[in-house]
Amino acid sequence: MTALALMMSAVLGVHGAETVWSGLVIAENVAQPQQIPGELTRIERPLRNLFGYNQFQVIGQSRKTLQTGQEDWLATSKFFGLHVDARGEGEGGYVLNLKLYKEKELLLETDAKLNKRSPLIIKGPQVGGGQLLLVLVVQ
Amino acid sequence: MKTFEEKWTAWLDGQLTGRELTEFEASLPDKDAAEAEKADARKLGTLLKRELGAQTLANEEFFSHQLRERISRERRTRSREHNVAFPTWWTIRRLLWTGTASLAVFLIFAVSVIRDKNPSGQSQYLTQILNTRVDPVVSPNATVSIFEAKEDQVTVLWTEGLQSLPSDYAAK
């Protein structure tokens, strides 16, 4: 019965719902760095190597389970907002429109095809002595 | 009733026997001269038989030789006609040129297909940035670049020159 169900799902192209984690992250160098959040452990090495910071804190996040691939959602902190608009599921990933707002001001807009096995990191503006990073991961 | 000439010919050939032979030999006016003529006729017959036999053999051989010549001539003609009809076009040099040309066409085709499939140069196995816009009023000197950390399967959109903000903006 299970095998039949697997075969049917393969034939019909039915995919399980997937979750996209979107995060606003502040990267800083501090004397006593905190442990990296669980959502970022997968990309800890490139975060440290590429940006050169020793602490990464999530200041805003959203976890959205995609059913149709056409959903949109918002990840916010006190001053920043990341609006994600999913525009369909392509081969191996989702086509997303991303908008980074500072309060109501649009700082950056990009269209990306988020691969299910490949996280996206966007270097945002400098904030104090640190850096705002936007991270999107299909979980 | 045989004439004399017929009996003479039969006598020369040794075909008269018995009474007929006795009567014919008795009728000969000069038997010794006739015997001498008979002997000469036999010699001539033997000679002719030998010569004619040799001539026949020579003709056979000649005919056979002619036949063999004709057959081989026809074979050569057929072979030439076959070569004219189906000439050997695939010489080594032509094969080499054809192989090289085919390889070149394949490479050109493969490269063009790969370029068309992924014009941005980004890997299709990683997240791809399709386009990016920065507000030129807020951040007039901003630039963006894209790179892929293939070892970690991460795509990075790297911005420079965005408006810097005070540390208060790091609040949750």
Q: Angle B18-27/B4-12 helices, nearest 10 degrees?
A: 110
Q: Does the distance separating the beta carbons of B169 and A123 come in below 8 Å?
A: no
CB within 8 Å of B7: residues ≥ 6 apart: B16, B20, B24
Separation in Å, CA of A1 to nearest CA in chain B: 34
B168 belongs to a structural domain: no
- Given a contact cutoff of 8 angstroms between Cβ atoms, the answer to whether B31 and B25 are in contact is yes
Q: Do B79 and B8 belong to one domain?
A: yes
Q: Which residues of A touch B (CB under 8 A)?
A: 26, 28, 43, 45-46, 49-50, 59-60, 77-80, 92-93, 95, 102, 105-115, 117-130, 132, 136
* Residue contact A93–B132, C-beta within 8 A: no
CA distances (Å), A29 to each of A9, A50, A80, B31, B62, in order? Answer: 48, 13, 21, 159, 114
Q: Report CA torsion sign: B101, B104, B110, B114.
A: negative
For residues B46 and B75, state if they share a domain: yes
Are A77 and B156 an interchain contact pair (Cβ–Cβ within 8 Å)? no
Which residue of A lies nearest to B138 if distances are taken between CA atoms? A107
Indicate whether B112 and B124 sit together in one domain: no
Q: How far is CA A12 from CA A5, B123, B160, in A?
A: 10, 28, 45
What's the pTM value of the predicted model, to 2 decimals? 0.59
Beta-carbon separation of A120 and B155 below 8 A: yes
Q: A26-56, pLDDT tens digit by residue?
A: 999 999 999 999 999 999 999 999 999 999 9
Q: Let me know whether B9 and B73 are in one domain.
A: yes
Average pLDDT, chain A: 87
Query: From CA A133, how far away is CA B145, in angstroms rounded?
Result: 15
Nearest CA-CA distance, residue A4 and chain B, Å? 30
Residue A7 in this model has a pLDDT that exceeds 50: no
Compute the distance between CA of residue A129 and CA of residue A131 in angstroms, rounded to an integer.
7
DSSP state for residue B162 in the 8-state scheme: P
Q: Of B48, B57, B12, B134, whose CA–CA distance to A125 is shortest?
A: B134
Give the gap in angstroms from C-alpha B108 to the nearest C-alpha of chain A: 26
If asked whether residues B26 and B60 sit together in one domain, one would say: yes
B12 and B29 both lie in a single domain? yes
- Residue A76's closest CA among A99, A53, A92? A99
DSSP-assigned letters across all residues of A101-128: EETTEEEEEEEEEEETT--EEEEEEEET
A107, A132, A137: best to mutate for the B interface, most B CBs within 10 A: A107
Q: Which residues of B touch A107 (CB under 8 A)?
A: 134-135, 138-139, 162-163
Percentage of residues of chain B with pLDDT beyond 90: 26
How many structural domains is chain B composed of? Answer: 3
Report if residue B102 sits inside a domain: yes
Q: Are A53 and A67 in contact (CB under 8 A)?
A: no
Q: In what order do the strands lie in the sheet with A55-66?
A: A55-66, A18-28, A130-138, A120-127, B154-160, B143-149
Query: Of the ranges A10-19, A45-54, A64-73, B97-106, which one carries the lowest mean pLDDT score?
Result: A10-19
Q: pLDDT category, A13, cuts 50, 70, 90?
A: very low
Q: With contacts defined as CB-CB under 8 Å, which chain A residues touch B138? A: 105-107
Query: Are B15 and B56 found together in one domain?
Result: yes
**A58 φ, ψ to 5°?**
-85, 120
Strand partners, A40: none
Q: What is the pLDDT of residue B57?
A: 55
Segments making up each domain of chain A, as ranges = 15-138
**What is the model's pLDDT at position B3?**
83
**pLDDT digits over A57-74, tens only?**
999 999 999 888 899 999
Domain span including residue B132? 120-163
Cβ within 8 Å, pair B155-A132: no
Instruction: Evaluate whether residue B98 is within a structural domain.
Output: yes
Contact A125 B128 (CB under 8 A): no
Mean pLDDT of B85-91: 69
Q: Write the pLDDT tens digit of every residue in B27-81.
A: 888 888 888 888 888 888 888 877 776 555 567 777 778 878 888 888 888 777 7
- For residues B112 and B148, membership in a common domain is answered with no
